[in-house]
Structure 1
Amino acid sequence: MVEQSESESRKLLSRLQAVMAEAAAGQERLDRITHLIADSMGTEVCSIYLLRDADTLELCATQGLAAEAVHVTRMRIGEGLVGRVARQARPINTPNAPAERGFRYMPETGEEAYSSFLGVPIQRLGERLGVLVVQSKEARKFSGDEVYALEVVAMVIAEMTELGAFIGEGAAMSARHQQQVLLRGSVAQEGAAMGHVWLHEPRVVVTKPVSDDPETEAQRLRDAIAQLRLDVDELLTRAPTADAEQREVLEAYRMFARSRGWMRRMEEDIQRGLSAEAAVEKEQSTARARMETLPDAYLRERLHDLDDLSNRLLRLLTGQGTDTGAELPPDPILVARNIGPAELLDYGRRLKGVVLEEGSVGSHAAIVARALAIPLVIHAKRITTEALNGDPILVDGDEGIVHLRPEETVAQAFRDKLAMQAEAQERYASIRDKPAESLCGTVVSLQMNAGLMADLPSLPSSGAEGVGLFRTELQFLTRNKVPRRGELAALYARVIDAAQGKRVVFRTLDIGSDKVLPYMKPTEEPNPALGWRAIRVGLDKPGVMRMQLQALIRAANGGPLSVMFPFIAQLEEFTAARDHLMREMEREATLGHTLPEKLEIGAMLETPSLAFAPRQFFEMADFISIGGNDLKQFFFAADRENERVRKRYDTLNVSFLTFLEQIVHRCSDTGTPLSFCGEDAGRPLEAICFAAMGLRTLSMRPASIGPVKSILRRVDLREARSVINEARAEGAQSVRPAVMEWLRRQ
């Protein structure tokens, strides 16, 4: 019986392949497929429903239902049995469809009282495309082999969709990867870029889903699996020093690569008529569908391992992958599910922009993208399945929008936007060497943020007066082991030299929370942003901090040195960190090393508690920098990684501005230099308000200095302060509308 069903399965796939090979328009092909399936399975009805948009299914072809219902009958995901199949991504097989929960009768289809119903999802690698349905009047439950056969046919339909088999006049489906796609994500790094897609992991396209020779395909699979196992073993051999957790992940890889169940299922798929790569992809799709339903994060991660192994296996079978000889386009926009900081740095400034399916605003990739000053959009769902290498793409990092294969009108509007930005850059260049002095004579010092040597060439070209924040953690995040003191000293010395006498503020290692070192065992914390991070790690595990402080002292080589400690929450932490630095100064002097001629020790004010620290803190600190990103999330109790809440709270909220004003007053009382560091400092409207509230130093990404300087030179900060005070007096929640209206009148 099994041999017969397998033979029938192969026979059905062969007939399907023959239909696909015939010259026909897309709609005609779909119609022939429904006739073929109904005939092969002995059912009165076979229907294909396809997704018209993310929420709507449309009847696109049928044998047995009314022909006039095609492209007319629609239903929402979850509606009726067909909608349930689409939502659950699992088959529904019932001998009594009308008695099933959610059954929907569709009179417009001429539907009779069909008892039996079998619906399977049409999907590819977890991406829903539609539903394939067979129905019969006879009350029977379809056998496991029949269910399997229909699933295989559904998969082949999905693959043929990928290859554009249903294109043509009156086609039920437009060609995949030829349509314009608009994707909405989240802003992780502002800016705009126009270019062509470069997939970090090129997707594998299965060009031959059906095979006539199971033995040859089975041998191809066995050969590829053997190579995969060798590759995984080599991974383990190359990582003998990996910690227990890393080895656990690699061992899980090896376990999956040697899974007999995985191999058996793929071999059965081949015996039923699939090619080796189609069999791999079928099991991969099943795993992806399970991933979405698993509540257990650990199990989801293990299925991700299987997903990754499947991709490796597909590349081995098809020869498709990163070594295909494809060349990076001259204007590459990197597209990936996610990416690590080291991999992103490997691409460097060649990239025009980055689009990720996952990621977060505080992720390593986001930190590097900011350092490279390239637009980054995250949470762009489906981008890796929608995009192909070389596709034209527009990235609007200001709005978090991605246009893939845009129409010419959209592309022209985007080109106009880029031209306006280029024109503005010329205007900013003309004032590069002029001070950021307002009409009322107030001078604001504009500094730049940096984290890589590659940032330093931007210092003279941007017009920045110095580096208000040099993030030292990037050198730790992009390596597989702790960098040596000598390496760090040499790097910091090059940074100081590149600054050409301008002040550089080095922030000590800010790790923990979302910035976990590859060689540091992550700690499970219910709320990492409020957990063991930054100075807390440094004080509890002082070895690395001492080494970094020594490297900074040596890098100064007798010149001035400014060191800033991150995430200080109370006076005691600042005192302890300062004592560490002073002890290293004494130690370096004992060793006969040259000490900095001037040492400044500051703190980042990122927690509301520090704003209320004893006066002694403000007197002891040589300077204070407000870390706007963290301070705002703690002030509003709104996680900046959480899209549902982070945009609810405005930086120009009256409460937050009043809080900043209190910090300005406390620093003014003790004569402590104060700056504001963060993304908001680089936004012109916010910069005006900060300066009007008394902040005289702002630190931002280099590209923001021109726009901020330009607007500060054209406004009277006393008038801006009056507008802010008036809005507060009137009970406004945010001063943004009032300040924007005032600017429009200028």
Structure 2
Amino acid sequence: MADSTESESRKLLGRLREALAEDSEGQERLDHITHLIADSMATEVCSIYLFRDDETLELCATEGLKAEAVHQTRMRLGEGLVGRVAKSGSVVNSADAPKERGFRYMPETGEEIYSSFLGVPIQRLGDALGVLVVQSRTAREFSEDEVYALEVVAMVLAEMAELGAFIGEGAALSARHQHPVMIRGGVGQEGTAEGHVFLHEPRVVVTNPIADDPHAERERLHEAVDTLRMSVDEMLAGAMTGDTEQVKVLEAYRMFANSKGWMRRMEEDIARGLSAEAAVEKEQSKARARMSQVPDAYLRERLHDLDDLSNRLLRILTGQGKDTGAEMPSDPVLVARNIGPGELLEYGRSLKGIILEEGSVGSHAAIVARALAIPLVINADRIITEALNGDHVLVDGEQGIVHLRPEDSIKTAFRDKIAMQTTAAEKYSSIRELPAITKDGTEIRLSMNAGLMADLPSLESSGANGVGLFRTELQFLIRNQMPKRGELVALYQRVLAAADGQKVVFRTLDIGSDKVLPYMKPQEEPNPAMGWRAIRLGLDKPGVMRMQLQAFIRACAGRPLSVMFPFVAQFDEYRVARALLEKELENEARLGHILPESVEIGAMLETPSLAYAPTQFFESCDFISIGGNDLKQFFFAADRENERVRKRYDSLNVSFLSFIEQIVERCESTNTPVSFCGEDAGRPLEALCFAAMGLRTLSMRPASIGPIKSMLRSINLAEAKSVIDEARNSGTQSVRPAIEEWLRERVGAD
């Protein structure tokens, strides 16, 4: 690239910096900037289009087009050449704009006399802010150097917009990170919370996008990249030698960190007049824009690697980001793109809420959030872009909604909701010691789900009848290596001691599918939820299962033991697993270890096939737990991780309720105790209907026990059953409307 071109670029950026430093309003600054750019690039027109909302671009400043078109000319995303640039995030460079695909003539601007067109996106880290355009009468394609120069200018405009340079009276751009934002996501864990944002990885703010001394900036970049490379080499040296997947990821990191092309592009950006930080961010923005356009999952993952390296490099250059001692607010709501279970547990119960830009209902983070009873919203699109440390935020985990920097009316309504929940919680506390007996004398046992030692205090505070499901996989997921048998024994001993004589049902390791151990080689499966997981993995890798069964037996040391095997699809799987446990009991007796006082061995019924197993299966089970989350997705063939389909199917669908009733009848015929375990057990309407179908034990998160107990104590179960039967006989798809109406009438009558 010619030195003279680089010099001209630096001159333009220097003049831009002077314009931005002037004591003027946002609109005046934008007008001045369009004049400077048109003059520097020797074009008759320079225009800046900015987003008014997610779908609409507005002409906010121009040199060369009609002044009266400013703030009047608008276009939809994808409309015209400007809309095309905004939608694709890529450059449009044409010598004859009117003949280009999608060209739209805007008569109020007077642009019909201009033939050539160059448009570049104004974006920051993939966040589209607008489009920068230059036009001229002469029919010519702009050179690579001119395109590059305009991209550099667009980058600076994006940075200055982030810093609020274009805000003021007659504002061309509304203030970033100041206005209220509502984001709809998915429900990861129910509950409501009010607090202030704490970013897991704070955004790096580039305050000096333009630099005077390219040589000094290049030196800063080289020093920072050297530091980055050393840190990657250290990570690679410290990687577990047997973990080939981890080594592969770090090798990809090292390849990018040593990429000559990446370094050359950043050096060229600096030569144009950008600071080292701005150069890194410019290339990162382009990579992020490409990321959204790449269909190939492997390439997307590699672009994620480059994105992560860019973040690390920016932290080195600026001293911002993680580990800089940012003070956590007293009421923190954690905001992250995604987060591992170990990292989330480090934050612990200090968090009021969690908001993830990615995540899923079955992710490790969701499992831990449920265990800690922290409201969680997943798939909160753009929350990383919108949120800043310290922002006031409301988390509605019941509906999967986030209110960022909420208006007073929203705050008032939300606080009223929390106050009502607090009042209800006081009411539930008053019946904590009372049994869940319906008005017609049917008792329903309400047990709790757990997975961490931190859950166990909820046994007493919630009034639960023991632990109906203790998830043992969390202890495996939060570690970087397989736990030792002695560690598991100690943990299970503490669990039983904390339960203080109340029943605890341990579920054997349920890994695979979405729960992949950090030290286990991931299995590429087309449909992992229906793949090599849970008992299938355990039977194929009996060493791990045997170790866990030994830990259960030794932890009990004379106390009762209850174990259930997850994801059983056929009788033989249960028969082999039960035989394994019985053999371990024999071995432990031979070794002289104290055996459990009694042993119950059960299965989780999570596949429709098991409902039709031979009668001998039900006879051989000491108990059965219906795993509602998985059973529902397989019954309706609707992946519960897929937001498009999972909400289409109702748990109170007559087919599903009739299926539950059939399972209960099969269990009753063999005198096999049966319970329902899952999210639906903790929802009042669903719990009522399951009880009406004959279930007498429900297992749920601790926070749901009070509301469910209160509801059950207020109803006549026989009446509810007749309402459900009438609805089923009418041919309706779901009994929900009928049972809701019946409950409303009862409230009115009371």
Report the TM-score range of the alignment, normalised by the length of the smaller protein.
Answer: over 0.9
Partner of 1:397: 397
Superposed CA offset, 1:120-159 (max 9, x none): 0000001111111111111011111111111111111110
CA–CA separation in structure 1 for the residues paired with 2:53 and 2:581: 60
Aligned: 1:598 with 2:592: no
* Aligned-partner residue type, residue 498 of structure 2: A
Structure 2: segments with no counterpart, 5+ residues:
none
Whether the aligned pair in 1 keeps the contact of 2:86 and 2:130 (CA below 8 Å) is: yes
CA distance 1:336–1:548, shift in 2 (3 Å): same
Whether the aligned pair in 1 keeps the contact of 2:334 and 2:355 (CA below 8 Å) is: yes
Partner of 2:36: 36
CA–CA separation in structure 2 for the residues paired with 1:627 and 1:533: 15
* Aligned-partner residue type, residue 84 of structure 2: R
Superposed CA offset, 1:559-618 (max 9, x none): 100000000001000000000000000000000001111100000000000000000011
* Aligned-partner residue type, residue 353 of structure 1: G
Q: Which moved more, 1:646-655 or 1:102-111?
A: 102-111
Say which SS state the counterpart of residue 465 (structure 1) adopts.
Answer: coil
Partner of 1:738: 738
CA–CA separation in structure 2 for the residues paired with 1:681 and 1:68: 62
CA–CA separation in structure 1 for the residues paired with 2:445 and 2:150: 68
Say which SS state the counterpart of residue 573 (structure 1) adopts.
Answer: helix
Partner of 1:79: 79
CA–CA separation in structure 2 for the residues paired with 1:56 and 1:549: 61
CA–CA separation in structure 2 for the residues paired with 1:32 and 1:381: 35
Aligned: 1:556 with 2:556: yes
Partner of 2:661: 661
* Aligned-partner residue type, residue 543 of structure 2: G
Partner of 1:327: 327
Say which SS state the counterpart of residue 148 (structure 1) adopts.
Answer: helix
> Where has structure 1 moved over 6 Å in runs of 4 or more?
none
Query: How big is the shift at 1:239?
Result: 1.6
Query: How big is the shift at 1:113?
Result: 2.5
Query: How big is the shift at 1:412?
Result: 1.4
Aligned: 1:622 with 2:615: no
Partner of 1:639: 639
Q: Which moved more, 1:107-116 or 1:42-51?
A: 107-116
Query: How big is the shift at 1:241?
Result: 2.6
Whether the aligned pair in 1 keeps the contact of 2:105 and 2:112 (CA below 8 Å) is: no
* Aligned-partner residue type, residue 643 of structure 2: E
Whether the aligned pair in 1 keeps the contact of 2:197 and 2:393 (CA below 8 Å) is: yes
CA–CA separation in structure 1 for the residues paired with 2:148 and 2:514: 43
* Aligned-partner residue type, residue 737 of structure 1: P
Count of aligned positions: 746
Q: Which moved more, 1:171-180 or 1:502-511?
A: 171-180
Superposition map of 1:248-267 within 5 A: 248-267=248-267
Partner of 2:482: 482
Query: How big is the shift at 1:74?
Result: 1.2
CA–CA separation in structure 2 for the residues paired with 1:59 and 1:629: 50
Partner of 1:274: 274
Whether the aligned pair in 1 keeps the contact of 2:438 and 2:717 (CA below 8 Å) is: yes
CA–CA separation in structure 2 for the residues paired with 1:468 and 1:240: 37
Partner of 2:222: 222
Partner of 2:370: 370
Partner of 1:456: 456
* Aligned-partner residue type, residue 392 of structure 1: H
Partner of 1:122: 122
Query: How big is the shift at 1:242?
Result: 4.5
Partner of 1:63: 63
Say which SS state the counterpart of residue 470 (structure 1) adopts.
Answer: strand
Superposed CA offset, 1:465-517 (max 9, x none): 10000000000000011100000001001000000100000000000000000
Superposition map of 1:686-701 within 5 A: 686-701=686-701
CA–CA separation in structure 1 for the residues paired with 2:615 and 2:113: 83
Query: How big is the shift at 1:676?
Result: 0.4
Partner of 1:285: 285
Aligned: 1:727 with 2:733: no
Aligned: 1:233 with 2:272: no
Query: How big is the shift at 1:59?
Result: 1.2
CA–CA separation in structure 1 for the residues paired with 2:408 and 2:231: 45
Query: How big is the shift at 1:112?
Result: 2.5
CA–CA separation in structure 1 for the residues paired with 2:635 and 2:31: 61
CA–CA separation in structure 1 for the residues paired with 2:736 and 2:211: 64
Superposition map of 1:284-303 within 5 A: 284-303=284-303
Say which SS state the counterpart of residue 354 (structure 2) adopts.
Answer: strand
Superposed CA offset, 1:75-99 (max 9, x none): 1111110111011100000000000
Query: How big is the shift at 1:323?
Result: 2.4
Partner of 2:541: 541
CA–CA separation in structure 1 for the residues paired with 2:324 and 2:345: 22
Q: Report the TM-score when normalising by structure 2.
A: 0.99
Say which SS state the counterpart of residue 740 (structure 1) adopts.
Answer: helix
CA–CA separation in structure 1 for the residues paired with 2:153 and 2:408: 37
Superposition map of 1:429-508 within 5 A: 429-508=429-508
Q: Which moved more, 1:253-262 or 1:428-437?
A: 253-262
Identity among equivalent pairs (%): 76
Query: How big is the shift at 1:553?
Result: 0.2
Superposition map of 1:205-220 within 5 A: 205-220=205-220
Say which SS state the counterpart of residue 113 (structure 2) adopts.
Answer: coil
Partner of 2:702: 702
CA–CA separation in structure 1 for the residues paired with 2:625 and 2:69: 66
Aligned: 1:566 with 2:566: yes
Query: How big is the shift at 1:409?
Result: 1.2
CA–CA separation in structure 2 for the residues paired with 1:699 and 1:198: 33
Partner of 1:414: 414
* Aligned-partner residue type, residue 390 of structure 1: G
* Aligned-partner residue type, residue 52 of structure 2: R
Superposed CA offset, 1:628-666 (max 9, x none): 000000000000000000000000001000000000100
Partner of 1:196: 196
Q: Which moved more, 1:28-37 or 1:637-646?
A: 28-37
CA–CA separation in structure 2 for the residues paired with 1:612 and 1:287: 52
Query: How big is the shift at 1:110?
Result: 2.6
Superposition RMSD in Å: 0.8
Query: How big is the shift at 1:448?
Result: 0.3
Structure 1: segments with no counterpart, 5+ residues:
none
Say which SS state the counterpart of residue 710 (structure 2) adopts.
Answer: helix
* Aligned-partner residue type, residue 358 of structure 2: E
CA–CA separation in structure 1 for the residues paired with 2:526 and 2:231: 36
